Amino acid sequence: MGCCGSAERPKREWKPLEDRSCTDLPWFLLFTLFLVGMGGICGFTIMTGGAARLVFGYDSYGNTCGQRNEPIEGVRLSGLDHTDRKFVFFLDPCNIDIIQRKIKSMALCVSQCPTEELATYFDLKRFAMMNGSELCSYELPGHKYPQLPERFEKCPKLPVPESKALPVFNRCTPVDISCYAKFAEAVITFVSDNSMLNRLIAGVAASKEIIVGLCLLALVLSMILMVIIRYISAVLVWILTALVVLGSLGGTSVLWWLYIDYRMTMNETMTKDLIETEEPNDGMKTTKDHAQGLLIYAVSATVFTGILLLLMLFMRKRVALTIALFHVAGKVFIHLPLLVLLPFCTFLALSLFWVYWIMVLLFLGTTGNPEKNEDTGLVEFRLTGSLQYMTWYHAVGLIWISEFILACQQMTVAGAVVTYYFTRDKTKLPVTPILSSVLRLARYHLGTVAKGSFIITLVKIPRLILMYIHNQLKGKENACARCMLKTCICCLWCLEKCLNYLNQNAYAATAINSTNFCTSARDAFMILVENALRVATINTVGDFVLFLGKILIVTCTAFAGVLALNYQRDYTEWILPLIIVCLFAFLVAHCFLSIFEIVVDVLFLCFAIDTKYNNGTPGREFYMDKALMEFVENSRRSMAMEERGRSKRARPKEDVELTEAKAMAPGTSSA
């Protein structure tokens, strides 16, 4: 059944099924075919010589260095045997095209890079005679370099700097990189003097042990916070609530005070000016506009504060659910400690894939048909015709597979948390719930993950294209076009975030009922809509608490860094080491607390399902933890008290109505 299927929904048990079946199998097959296509691109680049040209290098005539070559039609000096010439040498290595990111120089295959500076053509001749490495074009004999008139065009620019070959890619690279000053020009202009840059680099080099230690400290603090946050969540939530209320009231009061003060000052000034000039001037109009602006701000702040206070009033009871969920999430990490390793596994998988993707992209850059550039006369390899679409296919693969890896992490967490929640006796949990969740994912639900990640890809690609267009047209488009582009980018970003949240809950529903993606997304969406206020509370209060946790980790790490750097008096420059440490601390905290956030969201979905289909009676017992059970009992008691209060208020009114009815009845008297 598809997303819009109208068939009657079967009744579900809403608990982890023992007998599972594969979900979204067509999407698994489609994703497998896509992966085969990605592998085919890599194989094509290797078979057509693109990989060899990248690794071994090639000259300006289309010959690959270090091997025998086939001649290219219409290109002279192609098809040479370069078995003994294994290094690429550029005649002018400093002529760099920064925009196209390539060296604009003739390249030759040589047997040895120049090991010393060659200042004259006689030095080039001597180097060729002694080492057998000719640094001029192939048709020029080495013993005639000083006499040939073509030496100015087909020999390297003098002086030839000393060079060394790169370890893997066999390119002769100048030892003195001063000719690459264009790349450092911005840095040199910024610091005006190398002394500042040298001090920063020296500070990082001297404090590298402390930087590594502080990064490990941030890692440990993140792990500890995931466990103890259940004990401090209540304090953080109520501190947050108090700060928001006080901040909104204080901001509104300040705006009204500024408006009143400005209005009184304006009246005094206008009175004096009218007495002196007898007519209003431009300054009075400007002052009046400022006062009107302050009034608008004050009224807007008052409306915002009123809405905020009403929301706090109606949602105050639901804040307790957020605290209870944080408490249970802390217990989840105690029972499932391997959850803390998931960010490492995800980062490793993404890193390996990105390295592979970049490698194949570089292969594509040297793959294709050889074409002679009419302006320079050099041979370049370009993808033509239908082969050009391989680059776009490869780019889509970057997004889809990256989202697939992240979705696998979400499904793994959801499966483990669902197993924990719906196991009444926690002592009977599987030995390795994380591994069991991974195996279920690999055996049954890869198609669901592939479909969910593809939906995110469909939204992300247009947003990235619009961002690229916006950057390319910066300074050229009009204000209306710029506003429309930014609006579309913002809308697509919001849609992507909403779909990410829905996908995450759909994976949890799949982990529970083993249903396909569309059915799980629909069921999860209905559950979330029925608990909209609770969802809003958890996503606002909970996200802010986690943000405070990230700030706490960064602050503690920075404070420890200041103490450590202050203890070592030799470190005069603290700025760059502290910035590096703080960035790493925030990144680590974000990775770990994002897992915590997924756990809280999955726990909430399980809780909403539990309270909807169970009521605590025999045969329909709750699955929830003790902390959530206390929340449910407290909610029931408050609801019962409210009903008793309403009934007491309604009873006197009923008695009065009954008395009036008796008095109005015929034949009644007081005798």
Q: What is the pLDDT of residues 113-124, one digit of tens each?
A: 888 888 888 888
Is residue 24 within 8 Å of residue 516, measured between CB atoms? Answer: yes
Residue 349 predicted with pLDDT over 90: yes
CA distance 652 to 646: 11
Residue 223 predicted with pLDDT over 50: yes
Half-sphere exposure of 15 (CA within 13 A, CB side): 14
Q: Which amino acid is at 10?
A: P
Cβ neighbours of residue 491 under 8 Å, at least 6 residues apart? none
Terminal Cα-to-Cα distance of the chain (whole angstroms) = 78
Q: What is the pLDDT of residues 362-372, one digit of tens each?
A: 888 778 777 77
Cβ neighbours of residue 64 under 8 Å, at least 6 residues apart? 49, 52, 53, 56, 57, 58, 82
Q: What pLDDT is stored for residue 101 in this prediction?
A: 47
Cα separations in angstroms, 330 against 53, 58, 104, 239, 372 = 53, 58, 59, 20, 65
Q: What is the pLDDT of residues 351-390, one digit of tens each?
A: 999 999 998 988 887 787 777 776 666 777 777 777 788 8
Q: Which amino acid is at 547?
A: F
Token pair in block for residue 597:
């956030």
Q: What is the pLDDT of residues 562-618, one digit of tens each?
A: 777 766 555 455 667 778 888 888 888 888 888 888 988 898 888 888 888 887 778
Please write down the long-range contacts of 30-38, taking CB distance under 8 Å and 24 or more positions apart: 30/450, 31/400, 31/404, 31/446, 31/447, 31/450, 31/454, 34/397, 34/400, 35/401, 37/393, 37/397, 38/360, 38/393, 38/394, 38/397, 38/401
CA distance 443 to 519: 19
Token pair in block for residue 158:
């003098």
| pTM above threshold 0.75 | yes
Q: What pLDDT is stored for residue 453 in this prediction?
A: 95
Residue 637 predicted with pLDDT over 80: no
| CA 441 to chain centroid | 23
CA distance 84 to 66: 6
CA distance 35 to 24: 17
The angle at the Cα of 347, spanning 344 to 351, to the nearest 5 degrees, equals 140
Q: What pLDDT is stored for residue 272 in this prediction?
A: 60
pLDDT band at 95 (very low <50, low <70, confident <90, very high): low
Least confident window among 277-291, 309-323, 596-610: 277-291
Share of the chain above pLDDT 90, in %: 16
Please tell me what DSSP assigns to residue 376.
T
CA distance 514 to 484: 42
pLDDT band at 57 (very low <50, low <70, confident <90, very high): confident
Phi, then psi, of 381 in degrees rounded to 5: -100, 125
Phi, then psi, of 117 in degrees rounded to 5: -75, 130
Q: What pLDDT is stored for residue 578 in this prediction?
A: 77
Among residues 48, 92, 142, 163, the alpha carbon closest in space to that of 376 is found at 92
